[in-house]
Structure 1
Amino acid sequence: MTPARIEPEETYDYIVCGGGTSGCVIAGRLAEELNATILVLEAGPDNANLENVHMAGGWSKNFDCETDWNIVTEPMVAVDGRQVKCSRGRFLGGSSGVNGTLCIRGTKQDYDDWELDDWTGEKMFRYMNKAETFHGKDWFKAENAAHGTSGPLHTEPHDLAPISELVRESMIDQGLPYRPDMFATGETPHGCGDVTRTVHQGIRSTAADFITKESHRANITIKTDVTVDRVILSQESGQLTATGVVTVSRDGTQDEYRARKEVIVSAGAYCSPAILQRSGLGPKDELSKHGIECQVDLPGVGKNLMDHVLCFMFYEVLEPGLTNDYLAYHNNAIASTYQLYQEKKTGILSTFPFGIFGYARLDGRLKDSSLWRNAPRQPGRDPMGLTSSQPNIELWNTELYGGPKQYTDFPVDGNHVFAICALLFNQHSRGSVTLKSKDPMENPIVDHNYLNHPLDMLVMTEACRFANEIVMNGKATKDIVKGSWPSKLTHHTYTKREDWEPYVKAHATTCYHASGTCAMGKTDDPNAVLDSRLRVKGVKGLRVADVSSVPKVNNGHTQMVAYGIGEGAADIIKADANMKA
């Protein structure tokens, strides 16, 4: 596409491509240097008037519409050829406005495994804490040293529904000791605990808070409903240099914006590689398919796609009042629930309906598997590449019926239902992101390749078996569960690992943790797209800073990683600018 105009005033020191989680953090922190001018370009609308962003319980109402990127995977062989919908927030704040609000950092070893001095576990935990202002509650035994106290991201612990208290007791009974703040400290690979949420006083805190409200500064310009097509690359002193971007507005208008210092691509694991590819940065043979001249042949762009595969297992509860279904599905309860939120910012719509969480190591449970026993291992690591200080899986419960949109068997007739969820860490399978066309308004082709590796399937089936045992055998839940929901499912009777494989194939879905498609790496890594300071190889003045940059996804959730990458990137950019000055 040919840019329609260049306006002299549309020149900034830094251009941030993407107003999502990392992008907003970077822009807000760079704006603390008052002499710098920053432009944030966001493809979706402002989130100020999006009620279902600020009301965490309305999260799913942001999907399948203009506030969703509406990305769907290619059919995947190992999950019965199914396609999976990978919804992403398409508005200011990005997926920080639609996610599960969970602050699950993983372990410090996860980041040490990147083997990059700029991103050690100690540094990443410090960056994540910098973003946060933690608000405690009397009942919660917080590890205060593990939390931040001065960031724009306001967090607090979640008050559990009765079903979650019972699941916690069953987790303890089945060998997962309770450590209240374990997901903040990153020191426990096997246990259960409470999870801090990005909700405070009933309102979701998002990354947009870094550049709006009291954090808005006059040197930040925010343009919404503007999609970044590509980065403008120029030859300056014999060096290929990023000097601006070409954008497309909702009405089809094309514009150029110029950057004096740097362009920072922060559009997420699906869209960041697509922007690079449209700019001529990526695998040469793939770019040629779309008539794009290759500026730098970077084979790793769009490769190394990772996620955490997730399964929901639903159970009907015999007793009323244990789950929150009666506040959402029974009669016209949702009307009064919504009114309560409107008036007091309380009730189930003020939070996300996830309860207690657990991590588990599975070495002992898998020792009977010949695949596990005979799989290659690195010294000190299991076949999944994890040390004994890192969990293999994560487990948690929902506090009412609900999950991805394919689950539509709502308990409207006075029934009571919850799910236990099993999530796989450190998968071996890798997917890809490639262009469908060079049209920036067309989503890229996403192939997550879920569970393609046999060890991934092995661990995932064991995760489901363990989760089911917690519900069906745990002392606090075994007598209150009627069986699977809906009744046509019989997973509550499964006892063998192989029983679970058909269920996993039919129900495995995304945890919305896509990452790794513009990965950092060492100089001699041919698949690395970025160096350890997030600079695109072969291009001056261009960085990618979001979860696409991580070499390996953490063993937790990626929200706090995105905040940490944003905080770290801003520090690095400032330091590099000071060195040049």
Structure 2
Amino acid sequence: MAPSRTDSEEAYDYIICGGGTSGCVIAGRLAEELNATILVLEAGQDSADLENVHMAGGWSNNFDSETDWNIVTEPMVGVGGRQVKCSRGRFLGGSSGVNGTLCIRGTKQDYDDWGLEEWTGDKMFGYMAKAETFHGKDWFKANSADHGSSGPLHTEPHDLAPISQLVRESMIDQGLPFHQDMFTTGETPHGCGDVIRTVHKGIRSTAADFITKGFRRENITITTDATVDKVILSKDSGELTATGVLTVSKDGQQKEYRARKEVIVSAGAYCSPLILLRSGIGPKDELAKHGIECKIDLSGVGNNLQDHVLCFIFYEVLKEGLTNDYLAYHDNAIASTYQLYQEKKTGLLSTFPFGIFGYARLDERLKDEPLWRDAKREDGRDPMGLKPNQPNIEFWNTELYGGPKQYTDFPIDHKHAFALCTLLFNQHSRGSVTLRSKDPLENPVVNHNYLGDPLDMLVMTEACRYANEIVMKGAGTKDIVKGSWPSDLTHHAYTKREEWVSYVKQHATTCYHPSGTCAMGQSNDPNAVLDSKLQVKGVKNLRVADVSSVPKVNNGHTQMVAYGIGEGAAEIIKADSKVKA
């Protein structure tokens, strides 16, 4: 049955398609100009009363439900033909309400590598700081010059569980020097440190805070349960111009909204390209498959999909009280843990159970590998395209057993476990996001092509081998680890690369950092979808502003990138508005 349509029309200066991380930031900042009206269109529900958004420890309860986009990849050769669940937050605030709360910005070189004057490393680090209000702790030595003090995003350091203190000791022992605030400064490509979290006083801070709570403004209209189908395009003096959007509710009701100034698509790396494709903007051949008229032939829409591939490597711990499993899985502990959170906003559920983090360069470890040694490389860069001031991999430990929902071997019988996680940076493999159909309520076809490039597998397996050495040989952990968890795995004894290749193929998963599917680029770049001001090529008054716009994903996590893109986009839009006036 065809969707029904309402005749009423509403008009706003700016329409923002997507109430996720970047979209909420842009709306909040544009609303500071009180003569502008802003509409935020969010496909999901309001997050104000979603307990598992505000209680960081409840994050996984948002998945596999209506608060999750429930996106699953196609089978991928590089991970043994497996499909991977790529959960995304489907509510106001988006994935800022389900992520690991981690503020890992990468290095300034990551953004300088984009080659775009508006998005240098200095500017991006400034935008990320602008979003933040940092709250220190007595034990944490912060580099205050790199932290913000007036943004809606409240952050603070994480108090480590005993297992994390031991992992830190092992990281230092195995060659990763300690630099406490290194993930804020972005100046250390090889070392370990603490990571700031988007949590304050037991409450997760999300992008929705930019347009709610103390930042709610009368000139912002928030409409939830409104999936953007397409951008309405018209010819204005011969130029294709965005003039509004068409939405559909979950019960099939269509509605049009008119934009006086601009339409800003901020629906994320999976959904922003879909909106463009349904609007007739994208690869002509792809649009023809679905009977969509091609209005602008842009080959890059939906391509250049990147992510950070992740492996959890779990170990059983001999001594009790080191991990936090006893607070979650033993007997009826979770009931008292939950009561503590409700009464005092403290305890296990008040934070995210990740501990100490590390960056590592792998030049020395890989120098004799033929694939690494003989690979083509640019001057001053390694075979992965990284300079010496950029890390190849990231490590961190969990403070109890757990992760994505496939990890179900909970140590309920008074046992204890933790993981050392490995994450691959600057992978060569690229994937794609394409339409499954013209139906705006149907999820896309996603192929991340994880580990499709041999160099990616080489670096990832070396990262896992290094991680295992940290745990099994490191001074802090070597005497408290019994072996692999669950016990039918034997990775604690792995020494050969082929053993790690098999492990990675079976266990590699997403770090929930999809990026790059509507990438910015120079005017002569045939694969660029956007110019350096986030404007869609060939269309007036239409921008894409979220992590889909980044040409190359940073060597860190993408939460702060999404905030930075939002802050930078708002400044660019304000400046352009003044020029047009």
Q: TM-score range by the shorter chain?
A: over 0.9
Secondary structure of residue in 2 paired with 1:196 = coil
Q: Distance in 1 between matches of 2:132 and 2:239?
A: 39
Counterpart of 2:138? 138
Distance of 1:228 and 1:467 partners within structure 2: 43
Matched residue type, 1:5: T
Shift of 1:222: 0.1
Residue of structure 1 equivalent to 2:291? 291
Calculate percent identity across the aligned residue pairs.
Answer: 82
Matched, 1:149 2:115: no
Counterpart CA distance in 1 for 2:70 and 2:116 is 34
Contact 2:163 2:399 (C-alpha < 8 Å) held by counterparts: yes
The one-letter amino acid of 1:363's match is D
2:8 aligned partner: 7
State the alpha-carbon separation in 1 of the partners of residues 312 and 249 from structure 2: 39
CA distance in 1, matches of 2:448, 2:147: 33
- Name 1:399's counterpart in structure 2: 399
Q: Detail structure 1 runs of 4+ shifted over 3 Å in the superposition.
A: none
For 1:436 and 1:249, the matched residues in 2 are separated by 19
- Compute the displacement of 1:499 (Å): 1.9
Distance, in Å, in 1 between the alignment partners of 2:250 and 2:506 is: 38
Partner of 1:214, secondary structure, is helix
* Partner of residue 376, structure 2: 376
Take 2:413 and 2:446, find their aligned partners in 1: how far apart are those partners?
A: 39
After TM superposition, give the deviation of residue 252 of structure 1 in Å.
1.2
1:522 is displaced (CA, Å) by 0.2
Partner of 2:228: 228
Distance, in Å, in 1 between the alignment partners of 2:3 and 2:566 is 31
Q: State the partner residue of 2:120.
A: 120
Corresponding letter in the other structure for 1:561: V
Q: How far apart in 1 are the matches of 2:32 and 2:487?
A: 57
Would the aligned equivalents of 2:4 and 2:252 in 1 still touch at CA under 8 Å? no
Counterpart residue type for residue 131 of structure 2: A
Aligned partner of 2:260 in structure 1 is 260
- Tell me whether 1:172 sits opposite 2:169 in the alignment: no
Once the two structures are TM-superposed, the CA of residue 2 in structure 1 deviates from its matched residue by 7.5
Aligned to 1:345: 345
Matched, 1:320 2:320: yes
- Contact 1:209–1:215 under 8 Å retained in 2: yes
1:6–1:257 Cα contact (<8 Å) kept: no
Distance 1:2 1:202 in 2: 43
Deviation at 1:498, TM superposition (A): 2.5
Distance 1:5 1:337 in 2: 48
Q: Could you say which residue in structure 2 is the equivalent of 1:412? A: 412
| 8 Å CA contact 1:227, 1:247 repeated in 2 | yes
Q: Which letter does structure 1 place at the counterpart of 2:333?
A: A
Does structure 1 conserve the Cα–Cα contact (< 8 Å) formed by 2:3 and 2:252?
A: no
SS at match of 1:371: helix
Given that 1:305 and 1:515 are in contact with CA atoms closer than 8 Å, whether structure 2 keeps it comes out as: yes
Which residue is equivalent to 1:27?
27
Q: Determine the structure 2 residue equivalent to 1:574.
A: 574
CA distance in 2, matches of 1:361, 1:497: 18
1:532 is aligned with what amino acid?
S
Separation in 2, partners of 1:30, 1:5 = 28
Q: Is the 8 A contact 2:195 2:356 kept in 1?
A: yes
Question: Retained in 1: the 8 A contact 2:44–2:67?
Answer: yes
Equivalenced residue count is: 580
Tell me by how many angstroms 1:383 deviates: 0.1
The secondary structure found in structure 2 opposite 1:157 is: coil
C-alpha displacement of 1:66: 0.1
Give RMSD over aligned pairs: 0.7
User: Residue in 1 aligned with 2:102?
Assistant: 102
* Maintained 8 Å contact 1:154/1:205: yes
Q: TM-score, normalised by structure 1?
A: 0.99
Per the TM alignment, residue 237 of structure 1 is displaced from its structure 2 partner at its CA by 1.2
Contact 1:79-1:505 within 8 A present in 2 as well: yes
**Cα distance between partner residues in 2 of 1:389 and 1:99:** 27
Please give the alpha-carbon distance, in whole angstroms, between the structure 2 residues aligned to 1:363 and 1:251.
Answer: 55
Gaps of 5+ in 2: none
Structure 2 counterpart of 1:74, one-letter code: E
Instruction: Please tell me whether the aligned partners of residues 171 and 470 of structure 1 are also in contact (alpha carbons under 8 angstroms).
Output: yes
Contact 1:211/1:217, CA 8 A, preserved across alignment: yes
Q: How far did 1:497 drift?
A: 2.3
Aligned to 2:68: 68
Once the two structures are superposed, residues 386-434 of structure 1 have per-residue CA deviations (whole angstroms, 9 ceiling, x without a partner) of 0000000000000000001111000000000000000000000000000
Deviations 1:268-315 (A, max 9, x none): 000000000000000000000000000000000000000000000000
Counterpart position of 1:362: 362
Cα shift readout 1:74-123 (whole Å, capped 9, x = no counterpart): 00011110000000000000000000000000000000000000000000
